[in-house]
Structure 1
Amino acid sequence: MAAESGKIDPMHQFEVAPIGSGFDLGGQEIMFTNSALWMAVAAILLAVFMIGGMKRQLVPGRWQAAVEGFTNFIAGMTTQSIGSEGRKYTPYVFSLFMFILFCNLVGMLPLGVFGLHPFTATSHLAVTGVLALLSFSIVLIVGFWKHGLHFFSLFVPQGTPKVMLPLIVPIEFFSFMIRPFSLALRLFVAMTAGHLLLKVLSSFVISGFNADTLWLGSIVSVLSFTLMIGITALELLVAGIQAYVFALLTSLYINDAVNLH
């Protein structure tokens, strides 16, 4: 956690570390890492949340109401974004939203006081990149399955003068191909920046109490800790917003593949 100088290393929290020994697969060593562990924890917690809230009670309890609330929210979003065919893609978008949300929230759990440090999987570009490529692949599959080669008309906006096509088509194609990168980077940057800020503030708290001038150090520590509380609340909000933005953009991209323009 700390560097050799005794100072807190804010980047240490993002280090992917192997857990146990790996095994060889086709000449490649496969390791189970802390990132995989906490993604599994998020998936298990999500499964428990869904199973516990799927009771068909006449008067729904809070747990069932929460699950139904999330389900109706995503179903409404996909229907609004895609149209009547949106319900076909609701299960995927819902799974994507909930998994990202739980990964974000698991990384915020205050387990460090027990010596257990949670890992935010969505703070790694490899994880967000795979999720973005999965969504982008679905867009391509749906687009070519539904429209065939006519899918390429997506790069030709309606009403575009023919003389402008050599300029517009490459721009539209580039903006389309950049979508998975923007999806992955947006989530990765948002989660990484927040956790870095919290770690830096925590170093101020510790350094303040260890300062030679106790009264001045105490002021710095108290102010930093107060700011940490506010940033933590903001990070919880960002965790939900980023999951929503990822799911919403995925719905909009699927809409382009379903309805073209």
Structure 2
Amino acid sequence: MKTARVAYAGAIHTAFEQDLGSSKGLRLADGRVVAEDQVVWLPPFEVGTVIALGLNYADHLKELSKELTVTSKDEPLVFLKTPGAVIGHRGQTRRPRGVAFMHYECELAVVIGRTAHRVARADAMAHVAGYTVCNDYAIRDYLENWYRPNLRVKNRDGGTVLGPWFVPAEEVADPHALGLHTLVNGQVTQQGTTANMVNHIPALIEYLSAFMTLQAGDVILTGTPEGVVNVNEGDEVITEIDGIGRLVNTIVGDELFGR
């Protein structure tokens, strides 16, 4: 069953989808039923270390081929994020004043369910608890180069959106056969499929767990397909993954953050 985490009436609750007739709502674990806009949506689980993959889709590699010196034959491009980068569904992400190119990235997020250390590829999926949707923003102005993301590009407060739902692994028949879509102000700007990953989930878990121990709550962001475009203050960005969820985020300016 899909679950969410929300803040309501001074407490944090586990929540479930609830049909309100003409709209969708939430049923809290204590039995109360509320509308989606009555709560603050949090990431749908307690987030540990966020492990992000760059250039893990063949079409995205092709899209950036003129700027790259890496290929699909190289080791996975991996970087880390702190939990402070993460916000939930319906949250706001700041676009700093003066930047020229800030873009979304629709990604399947893989949630680790139990400790993984030196896990063989054949055993890797047993360590996956479930999945959620990620919208991982990047500001290209700050990039040192096109294939080595630095901290200002990727580990930004509020720049990694997760949710709205945690979907248990057993409810996803094939995580490598899911459609991904991004809409900016209602217009489709990005479409792809997880089948186009360069390094699939078992290979990523085998690779990562060979040199670092993965713990329950750690998240692997598996990369994005082609179709990233600039977003501006006031834009509504929706990232969707078939069977996983529809994640809504709004771009805001410095003024809301007192800058």
TM-score when scaled to structure 1? Answer: 0.24
More helix by share: 1
Q: How does the TM-score come out when normalised to structure 2?
A: 0.24
Select the structure with the greater relative contact order (CA < 8 A; seq sep ≥ 6): 2
* Larger Rg, first or second structure (1 or 2): 1
Which has the larger strand fraction?
2
